Amino acid sequence: MSQAFSLKGKNVLVTGGTRGIGHAISLQFARAGATVIANYVRGQKTAEALLAQAQEEKLHITLCRADLTLARGLGSLEEAVAGLNGGLHGLVYCGATGVHKTFEGLTLRHFDWTFALNVRAFFELVRRILPRFAPGASIVAVTSQGALRVVPSYSVVGASKGALEALARHLAVELAPRGIRVNILAPGAVATESWASMPDAQDRLAELTRRTPVGRLVTPEEVAQAAQFLCSDAARTVIGHTLVVDGGAGLPV
């Protein structure tokens, strides 16, 4: 691997880092030489499995169980980051939640629940750990196609991802003079557990596969490789960019 893509010596925090796409990012980053703090909240078994795998491969991954919607959880992550030797070189904001219903079934509680993690916690986490970022650090906000496009039963999640993207673009400009790069990573459909709560998941995944020019869905590992690029020195002048990793599914044909 070219040195420019290496993450050797970098400390990276991955939220939602023990399951699905975040799990792939934690492993990919650690294999590329990073020291990773993988954040999670409920999935104790998957977190322990990641740790066991890291120990087997002699990778530098530690876990931080913290609910990012609570001040206490944000405090735990702040503490974990403060303990890093050499500061923080990367934040991949991958954790997300949401209620998948049509508009008439949604309430303000669903809205607040979704925005609390997908937008508010990102804002507050970055605000709290800002002094810890090392020069040349990279923040990657993981969003989705629903930020720009209409996806069935996705209005509140799509709106939160749109807000996250807008916030990330503003931060990209404001933080660039401090040597902190901010970018957006927007995967297409990836067959993770999160689809279990989607209505008609199997039919929709089949339809999305049919519409994807490469003829299959993107894998978590492929999204992780794109995240690695954004956190590597190879992307040192990539700022405020939205990197779409969707096998061409979003192209207007």
Ligand X SMILES: NC(=O)c1ccc[n+]([C@@H]2O[C@H](COP(=O)([O-])OP(=O)(O)OC[C@H]3O[C@@H](n4cnc5c(N)ncnc54)[C@H](OP(=O)(O)O)[C@@H]3O)[C@@H](O)[C@H]2O)c1
Residues that bind ligand X (CB under 6 A): 15-16, 18-22, 39-43, 46, 67-69, 94-97, 117, 142, 144, 187, 189-190, 192-194
Nearer to ligand X, 6 or 242 (CB): 242
Rounded to whole angstroms, how far apart are CA atoms 5 and 67?
A: 31
The CB-of-15 to ligand X minimum distance in angstroms stands at: 6
The CB-of-179 to ligand X minimum distance in angstroms stands at: 25
The CB-of-171 to ligand X minimum distance in angstroms stands at: 17
CA distances from 33 to 3, 37, 191, 228, 252 (A): 11, 13, 27, 11, 38
Are 41 and 67 contacting, i.e. CB atoms less than 8 angstroms apart? Answer: yes
Read out DSSP for 66-92? Answer: --TTSHHHHHHHHHHHHTSTT-EEEEE
Nearer to ligand X, 21 or 182 (CB): 21
Nearer to ligand X, 18 or 28 (CB): 18
Are 15 and 92 contacting, i.e. CB atoms less than 8 angstroms apart? Answer: yes
Nearer to ligand X, 18 or 155 (CB): 18
The CB-of-246 to ligand X minimum distance in angstroms stands at: 8
